[in-house]
Every structure is written in C-alpha cells, then in structure tokens.
Chain A
Amino acid sequence: MVTFEYYQKKLSNGYLLGIFCEFCNIRMQPSQAVCHRCGNKDLKIVELSRIGILRTFTIIRVASDRFEAPFAVAMVETNDSAYVIGNLLNYNLDNIDISVIGKKVEIDFKKNLNFRILYKEVFSLVFTIIK
C-alpha cells in the first residue's frame, strides 16, 4: 500500500507510483491494500510509465468553489496498464474535441493550489498531448 504522503513525496521527486497485482498482471492507481479483482494481498509498489493514451476527458465550465474554470480533466491509461486522472494542459479549450481520445500523452506533475486544507502542498498529474 502506498500512503498518500509517500505517493506525494515520490511524485514531487519525479516518480509516479502505483501498485501491481502479478496475478491479474495489472497496475493500478490509487493504491489499494488488496486487489479488488482477485483478493491478492501481496501487491507490489511500482513506478508507472510517464507515457499513456488519453481515454476520456471533459472541460469543466462550472467549477467548484476555489477552482477557476474552464479547465480540462482527463483519464489516461499508462503504457503499463494503470489508469490515472489529472488535468490536460497546453490545449486550446475552444478547439478541443473528442478526437483527443486515443492520443498519446506525456504524464507530468504540478503543484496543485486548490487543495491546501488537509495538506501543505499537493502535487497532481498533468497531461500533455505528444504531437
């Protein structure tokens, strides 16, 4: 199990962590204590690929308090089978359309200024489409 504190510490140093179930041959995030597919309790902590495929997205136009719209949220499948969620950057939100699904992205991280209630500093994932 990767605690959020440890995940954040490693992410801030450039390591994207997930867990791996060798029986299901699948990597996952967020960290789980037990594999929900097979019940395996011996999940390995692994570093995930920083390259993936964009699986879905939205543009938030009506945001929660303290978030400034518009911005894009996306789910990405990493090259080594984990799904991760983050913000899609460097894209013209007026021109974005469904054709971005299936595009190759680079996965990076940024300091997130919208979540400072429980933690001093939070890093979250950002995706950039690779041309």
Chain B
Amino acid sequence: MREVAIAGSSMTSFSKHTKSGIELFLEASLLAIESSGLEPRDIDALFLGNCLGIYGDRQAHMAPFVHSAMGLKISASALRFESACATATIAIKNAILSVGAGIYDIVLAGGTEKLTSLSTSIATRIFSMASHAQYEFPTGITFPGIFAMSAHMYSDKYGIKITELKKHMAEVAVKNHFNGYENSKAHLRKIISVEDVLNSAMVADPLQTLDCCPFSDGASAIVIMSAEMASDLVKKPIFVAGMGQGSSGPLCIQRDLTRSKSREIASKIAYSEAGILPRDVDVCELHDCFTIAEIIAVEDLGFYDFGKGYVSASSKDTYINSNYTSINPSGGLKSKGHPIGATGAAQVTEIVEQLRGESENRQVYGAKFGLIDTMGGGFGTVCNIILRS
C-alpha cells in the first residue's frame, strides 16, 4: 500500500442549523478542497457519511445530490456510508484504503447530519433503531439507557460506589466543556461544574442530562490523497500511521458492557500498524457520547488499566497539556456536539489541526501522534485511526 495523507479538512459549526444536510456538507467540503489547493473537479470519489438523513432531512440517496451540487466530474464515484455514530470514520477509513491501494488518487470523505428538526422523543426512537430491532428495541432501551447499564455494571464490577463513580463521570463532562468553551465550532460552549451535572435532570439512571452529549446538526469533510501528492500540494500534510476496526453484536452476546472488545481489537491493530504504544499518543479524540463512555474508552484504548480509568478526568490527567495524553481537546461529543454522521470527520479535523499546531488556545504542544476513536451503536462498530505530523 502506498503512504496516504490528509491534505485538507474542515467542519461547519456544530449546533442547530437551518441548512439541510447536503448544504452543510457543501459548506465543509468546499473549504476542505480549497485548503488542499484543489478544485472540486480534481476529486475522484466522494465517500459521504450520513446516518439518518432519511428521517432528519427526508432525504435518501444523498451522495449523488452532493456530487452534483459541488460540481464533481460525472465519473467521480459517489457512495454513502452508514455505521451509526462511527459513520464518517468508516467512510474516511475506506477512503484511505482506496487511495492506499491506488484505486483512486484523491477522495473527499466525511459526513453530515441534520437531526435537530426532530423532537427529542422521535430522535430518541430513531437513534434506538441502532439497537437490535427484535430483541432489544421492544424493551424501550435508549442509547443513554445502554450506557447507563454500562455505568451500573462498572460500579458493581469494580466495587466503586455509584455515588462516587458519578462524581468522576461528572468530571469528564466538566473537562470536555472546559475544552469546548475555547472551540468556536462547539455546540455547547459553557463552563460547567460537577454540581451542575449532578443537579441536572435524570435521563436514564444513573446518567443525567449533563452526562449526555447533545443532538446536533453539522458536517465535516477531509481530503485524502497519496502522501507524495499531498507533500507537493500543502505545507503540512498529515500522514496516516495506522487504522483498525472491530465489530460486536447484540448487548446480550457482548455481556460485559464495561469494556468494548471491538475497540480493544481495533486499537490493537491500529497501534501495531503505526508501530507505537498507547503512551506515544499525544492527543486523542474519543467517543464520549456519555461520560461513562469516555471512562470505558480510555481503558479500552490502553491509556488506563481496566477499572482504573474512572479517575482520568478527576485527576486532571487527561486535560490539555497534562503529562498524559490530552483527551478530547475539541470538547468531544459532549461539548462540541454530535451530528451522528459527521462526528468522526470532525474528530479527524481536530486531530489534523492539533498535529499542524493550529488549535490556538486548545493546542497540545508538540503533538506528533494523534488517535481518533469513534464508536457506532452499543459498541457495535469501533474504528480507530492514528495520524502523525
């Protein structure tokens, strides 16, 4: 496989938007293409992530409409990817593989989602469709509910009182809001306290409103090409060092909701391909859809031993420029927001900017290796990408 690099990236702000999913993606992708020193006609393929456009936009078959609106050449392949919350990362991973294999020279990949047009109860129902339709969905389980069951299991398994664990979980939200406050693209730019989290309304015991990421609209796009071409086109290409993907099935087949086998395998493959260890990662954007999800992820990714990651934020270890890996400098899904199909591409955009030293007040100094971690469903899909400057 030839070496692959990212030449350009961009994202819209994450918030409530009046633009459609297609319009949001155009906004992000035209900037990404321009920043790569290219024109839309140079793109060989569009790998578009979109999860729930059929509900949020009432739009199926989004890729060719994006293709047309941005004036791609007719021969450029337009494909839509869907892997629940990992949608965009899977699109990007496959774009990297295609360029690496020499199938395409330049691929535009990323994702878009427009969902705030739906009510909370409808959006909750539609998200729940990513659980097992026959065995799980009829119980009324929701995604906060799945991670709530993870939190209870974690408390029981490691003998940490739930009241104690909840304070550590709240510290994850506090950290990510602290980071997101400095991010002009973030949906919830608000400093919060542990008390704010613990006083917010209960969503699914023990998860409260401020343990949960918001529903957001937004898009993000990445321009992927051979490392050789990127080095000619832009000053600071960011290189793909390693990737991994893992899959898991229904919750009752997985059984232990305190760890994700799919992530353990995915990250192991990615670290091995990159030739690095978890401690070599300077900055990481990981899937903090709920506070407990960040705690589980820092363990699965090898930053902490199992059962020890709950102190990662409360100890200040994972704040920007601590002595450990900086986790979610963008504010994560928690503060930056979570437009499902765009999330992974926004994580990549954050890591690209961090490795280029362009993150201003959120800059992780001297960042050389960055890890992206995106999870779809209840640990169903996990995709990890390691980038280097």
Residues of A with Cβ closer than 8 Å to B? 4, 28-30, 32, 36, 55-67, 71, 73-75, 77, 82-87, 96-98, 101-102, 112, 114-115, 118, 122, 124-125
Contacts and interface: CB of A to CB of B under 8 A. Distances in A.
B139 A85 contact: yes
A118 B124 CA distance: 19
A56 B204 contact: no
Given A98-B155, A98-B156, A64 B149 contact: no
Given A63-B142, A114-B138, A58 B204 contact: yes
Given A4-B134, A56-B257, A98-B155, A29 B125 contact: no
| Those 8 A-B pairs whose CB atoms lie nearest each other, nearest first | A64-B125, A58-B148, A83-B252, A56-B153, A115-B138, A65-B121, A67-B140, A65-B125
Contacts of B206: 58
Interface string B107-122: 0000000000001111
A84 B253 contact: no
- Which of B124, B149, B205, B255 has most A Cβ within 10 Å? B205
Contacts of A77: 255
B38 to A, nearest CB: 43
Contacts of B137: 115
18 contacts: A28-B253, A56-B152, A58-B145, A59-B202, A60-B140, A61-B202, A61-B205, A62-B204, A63-B124, A73-B145, A73-B149, A75-B149, A75-B251, A77-B255, A86-B139, A96-B205, A122-B138, A124-B139
B229 interface: no
B141 A85 contact: yes
B102 interface: no
Nearest to A93: B205
B144 interface: yes
Contacts of B145: 58, 60, 73
Contacts of A115: 137-138
B128 A85 contact: no
Contacts of A36: 249, 253
Contacts of B236: none
Interface residues of B, number: 42
Contacts of B139: 73, 85-87, 124-125
Nearest to A30: B135
Nearest to A5: B134
B153 A30 contact: no
Contacts of B276: none
Given A58-B205, A60-B144, 13 more contacts: A30-B135, A36-B253, A56-B153, A61-B204, A62-B120, A65-B121, A73-B149, A98-B152, A98-B155, A98-B162, A101-B156, A118-B133, A124-B138
A12 B378 CA distance: 28
B152 A62 contact: no
A96 to B, nearest CB: 8
Nearest to A67: B140
A28 B201 CA distance: 36
B17 interface: no
Contacts of B253: 28, 30, 32, 36, 83
Nearest to A64: B125
B138 A60 contact: no
A29 B135 contact: yes
Given A28-B252, A28-B253, A98-B152, A62 B142 contact: yes
A36 B250 CA distance: 12
Contacts of A118: 133
Contacts of A65: 119, 121-122, 124-125
A115 B138 CA distance: 6
